[in-house]
């Protein structure tokens, strides 16, 4: 649990610095839910950008921690990996647990993440950390299995994605720690004791824009025989996957809402 413990210490420091806000201490619940429709154990969609029809039979994510902030970025054009957390105001609430979520098996039913704590009052943005799994039985932060079909050709794929030092060139100035943060997610709520923050994830957004033609041999020996592929760093489909899950707005898979007690 080392990762979660370090996140908790960061969060408690920020909450402690916010004592001048006047908000009463509160506790609340957190849960995760998938928003992509599940039919007969699959998530299916057409990618208008690439023309591939994609079906997912596995879509799992290790979700959490989650942070709620009192403000929005000082500059709305600021990149999502800005270093100064206090550009987002003070920390209104935090959920430092992580939970594996099966977005297909749960079929839209909520999965509890854990208990959160914070200060009562208005939150204007949220932050999600795509941390490596803390459960030793979970191999990846994200895992997919599925098929992509276009013009009669099928690619059967599987893959995993974890943002760690093995996939980030830290000599360029980036760090895995920063790359894991999805910042400035739209979120407006009055954080209150006994409420629930709901983190929704749409697995159809994970591979949106990914061109599976990368895996096709040239020429394709037999278009009627599926091509097997592993999505792995640093191929273009993996890079698109990383890009998508780090998006806070619009094309990203994340949305957060608050349920009053």
List, for residues 57-74, the tens digit of each pLDDT value.
Answer: 999 999 999 999 998 765
The DSSP secondary-structure symbol of 28 reads: E
Which pLDDT belongs to residue 223? 81
The ranges assigned to domains in the chain are 2-259
pLDDT-derived band at 84 (thresholds 50, 70, 90) equals: very low
Question: 236: closest CA among 51, 50, 107?
Answer: 50
Q: Across all residues in the chain, what is the average pLDDT?
A: 89
| pTM for the full predicted model | 0.89
Which pLDDT belongs to residue 22? 54
Instruction: Kindly report, residue by residue over 104-116, the tens digit of the pLDDT.
Output: 999 889 999 999 9
Cα 245–Cα 188–Cα 178 angle in degrees, nearest 5: 35
Instruction: Kindly report, residue by residue over 8-41, the tens digit of the pLDDT.
Output: 444 444 454 444 455 899 999 999 999 999 999 9
Ranges of beta strands (E only) in the chain are: 25-34, 43-46, 53-63, 66-69, 91-95, 99-102, 111-119, 121-129, 142-150, 153-161, 181-191, 196-201, 227-231, 254-259
Instruction: Kindly report, residue by residue over 178-212, the tens digit of the pLDDT.
Output: 999 999 999 999 999 999 999 999 999 999 999 99
């Amino acid at each position: 649990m080392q990762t979660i413990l370090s996140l908790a210490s960061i969060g408690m420091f920020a909450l402690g610095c916010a004592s001048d806000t006047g908000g009463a201490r509160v506790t609340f619940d957190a849960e995760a839910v998938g928003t992509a429709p599940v039919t007969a154990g699959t998530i299916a969609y057409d990618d208008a950008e690439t023309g591939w029809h994609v079906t997912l039979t596995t879509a799992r994510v290790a979700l959490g921690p989650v942070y709620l902030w009192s403000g929005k970025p000082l500059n709305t054009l600021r990149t999502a990996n800005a270093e100064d957390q206090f550009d987002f105001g003070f920390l209104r609430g935090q959920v430092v647990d992580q939970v594996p979520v099966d977005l297909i098996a749960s079929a839209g039913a909520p999965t509890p993440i854990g208990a959160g704590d914070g200060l009562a009052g208005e939150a204007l943005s949220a932050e999600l950390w795509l941390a490596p799994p803390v459960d030793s039985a979970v191999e990846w932060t994200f895992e997919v299995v599925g098929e992509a079909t276009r013009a009669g050709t099928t690619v059967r794929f599987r893959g995993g994605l974890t943002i760690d030092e093995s996939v980030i060139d830290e000599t360029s100035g980036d760090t895995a720690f920063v790359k894991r943060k999805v910042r400035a997610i739209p979120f407006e709520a009055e954080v209150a004791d006994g409420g629930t923050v709901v983190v929704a994830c749409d697995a159809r957004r994970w591979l949106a824009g990914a061109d599976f033609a990368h895996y096709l041999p040239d020429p394709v020996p037999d278009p009627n025989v599926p091509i097997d592929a592993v999505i792995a760093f640093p191929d273009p489909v993996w890079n698109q996957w990383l890009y998508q899950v780090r998006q806070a707005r619009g094309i990203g898979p994340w949305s957060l809402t608050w349920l009053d007690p």
